[in-house]
Amino acid sequence: MSANEPPVPPTPRPHRRAAALVAALALAGGLLAASPATPASGAAVPATIPLTLTNNSGRGEQVHVYVIGTELSTGRQGWADASGAFHPWPAGANPPSPAPEASIEGPASGQAKTIRMPKFSGRVYFSYGQKLVFKLATGGLVQPAVQNPSDPNASILFNWTEYTLNGSGLWINSTQVDMFSAPYAVGVKTPDGSTRTTGHLKPGGYNAFLSSLRSQPGGWGGLIRTRSDGTVLRALAPGHGIEAGALPANVMSDYVNRVWSKYSSQALTVTPFKDQPSVKYFGRVSGNTMNFTDASGAVVTSFQKPDSDSVFGCYKLLDAPNDLVRGPISRTLCAGYNRSTLLSNPNQPDADDANFYKDAVTNHYSAKIHAQMADGKAYGFAFDDVGAHESLVHDGNPQQAYITLDPFN
């Protein structure tokens, strides 16, 4: 893991799109805005740090909290209790068997509670009113599948943050890669006593996002899921919406077709590493293939014409392996497609958010989330960190972490 690397989720579900933050790699200091701080000389990140959860939601339901992930010192998967002690998952089964009880009682509305966060690459889940259902398959933990209406958690109001705590510090983010749901923000306290935060919506931003999505032509309002009692549970990310039949499968096709046409007669230049401006790749379309060459003219990788799901998920035909060529080019393409900057700028990535989401065919879900964020930062899709537009905070010597459950307004 590089010093610039954002957090990664724990055991991915077998059906989960692989790109959802797991490949958000800042290779060789690449696409993030700046290198994060590292621990001061002589400082060491302890085995656990305090995590304070503050409930400003205004909701009366009991909050249930779960800290799950991979223990970095051993690679074992499991959960942590309120003291930060690690508990490995037992063996799973086929069909999946119930996981051990891992919930921690969260704070009541208007209250705060401090637990301990261990050195994990993992998630902190929180749910309102009902405990989440986790099961263990032979391949590991089965996590909630928000796009599956028959998932046992489908009617539960919940969300999660993703984090990594290791010897180089803490990375913690708010994420909308899979869904927009219960609002929250994250933070980290630094050695000088200051706090960095991200993830807060603007006042009224929760309802403004939902209203804007409902009014977006083209079926985007179909992403919103509501419980039988009228509670809005979540808005699915568009890739999950396609999978669930809530969004047309060809929703991005017109834009992709126009990109394909444009770069059949000119080159798309990709400069994937911010600190290596001399490293450039040149994409040209031939038939159904976009070939990328290096400065010598040698083909280094090729992409088939992506479908909408590949664009939204940054996977399948836009797969981004952890390498130094295809992965960085793919992340850049993914960001360009989702932000609809590939036609307006033949030099990518375009890091200026004033240019994002201007085409009528774009990732309206991500655009509307960013529009309602207090600091403009979000993880509206897996590679929203291209150009440093992601909702992530980091410190190399964290004193404390924070999760704030925000109001639903």
Angle at 255 between CA 252 and CA 260, to 5 degrees: 120
For residue 30, is pLDDT > 60? no
At 282 the pLDDT is 98
| Distance from the first to the final alpha carbon of the chain | 38
pLDDT digits (tens, 9 = 90+) for 165-206: 999 999 999 999 999 999 999 999 999 999 999 999 999 999
Measured distance CA(74)–CA(89) in Å, rounded: 13
Token code pair at residue 117: 């966060």
Task: Compute the average pLDDT of residues 2-29.
Answer: 33
Task: Compute the average pLDDT of residues 31-38.
Answer: 32
Pick the CATH number of 253-362 from 3.90.950.10, 3.30.920.50, 3.40.50.40, 3.40.50.740: 3.30.920.50
Measured distance CA(263)–CA(357) in Å, rounded: 20
For the chain, where do the domains classified as CATH 2.60.110.10 start and end? 27-246+365-405
Whether 379 contacts 393, CB under 8 Å: no
Known active-site residue 385? no
pLDDT digits (tens, 9 = 90+) for 255-274: 999 999 999 999 999 999 99
Token code pair at residue 327: 């992965």
For the chain, where do the domains classified as CATH 3.30.920.50 start and end? 253-362
At 275 the pLDDT is 94
Query: Active-site residue among 61, 81, 101, 162?
Result: 162
Identify the bridge partners of residue 189 per DSSP, sorted by sequence position: 195, 400
Q: How far is CA 140 from CA 72, 95, 240, in A?
A: 16, 12, 22
Measured distance CA(334)–CA(303) in Å, rounded: 12
For residue 316, is pLDDT > 70? yes
At 43 the pLDDT is 64
At 324 the pLDDT is 96
For residue 314, is pLDDT > 50? yes
Measured distance CA(122)–CA(67) in Å, rounded: 7
pLDDT digits (tens, 9 = 90+) for 342-368: 999 999 999 999 999 999 999 999 999
Query: Active-site residue among 5, 71, 101, 178?
Result: 178
Q: How far is CA 303 from CA 156, 282, 316, 333, 341, in A?
A: 39, 12, 10, 10, 18
Residue whose C-alpha is closest to residue 88's, from 103, 74, 104, 109: 74
Known active-site residue 353? no
For residue 106, is pLDDT > 60? yes
Angle at 267 between CA 264 and CA 271, to 5 degrees: 140
Class of domain 27-246+365-405: mainly beta
pLDDT digits (tens, 9 = 90+) for 199-239: 999 999 999 999 999 999 999 999 999 999 999 999 999 99
Q: Which amino acid is at 93?
A: A
At 36 the pLDDT is 34
Measured distance CA(390)–CA(392) in Å, rounded: 6
Q: Which amino acid is at 302?
A: S
Q: Are strands 195-198 and 135-137 parallel, antiparallel or unpaired?
A: unpaired
Omega within 30 of 0 (cis) for the link into 95: yes
